[in-house]
Amino acid sequence: MDILSNLKYATGSVKKNKRIGRGEGSGHGGTATKGMNGQLSRSGAKHKSWFEGGQMPLQRRIPKFGFSNKFKVYYQLVNVDSLEKLVSSKKITDTVINAGVLKKHGLISNLKDPVKLLGNGDLKSKIKIQVNSFSQSAKSKVEAAGGSIEKI
């Protein structure tokens, strides 16, 4: 019967560590499995993982390209039809739809980036929405449905 004080590893599941550099009798003495000559057989031998033995390294062989504009504003896009789905399914009961409501219902991923409303789809419900930016088609669809759109 196995009890906690008598537990042992299964036979053959645990190997002994290879003890290198402990004399010729161990079978791993002498060069201590490092071979005869070369950079890695010397004491203190180490090199960076990207070092290629003096060959021109990969990060210098491949050309640089592209440009990242640090002033570009990345908007989170919300379409009018996705708002219509939420309002018609009675999931949104708020009088004013803003970024917090959109985040709560999973239409945007964070509150840090600005929100832009786009006019893809149809809108039948009267809604009041506050966003950072909107397209002209989105504005016309919201106002045609009797709602209002406010830029914050």
Tell me the DSSP string of 80-136: HHHHHHHHHTT----SEE-HHHHHHTTSSS-SSS-EEEE--S---S--EEEESEE-H
Q: Locate 113 and state its tokens.
A: 């980036």
The residue type of 11 is: T
CB count, 10 Å around CB of 74?
A: 8
Closest to 145 measured CA to CA, from 114, 122, 121: 122
pLDDT value at 14 more than 80: yes
User: In the predicted model, what is the mean pLDDT of the chain?
Assistant: 91
pLDDT at position 90 is 81
Note the pLDDT tens digit of each residue in 95-145.
789 999 999 999 999 999 999 999 999 998 899 999 999 999 999 999 999
Class of 76-151 in CATH = alpha beta
Identify the residue with better confidence: 124 or 2. 124
Domain map of the chain by residue range? 76-151
Average the pLDDT over 74-79 and give the result: 95
3-state secondary structure at position 149 = strand
- Provide the pLDDT confidence category of residue 1 given band limits of 50, 70 and 90: low
pTM (2 d.p.): 0.58
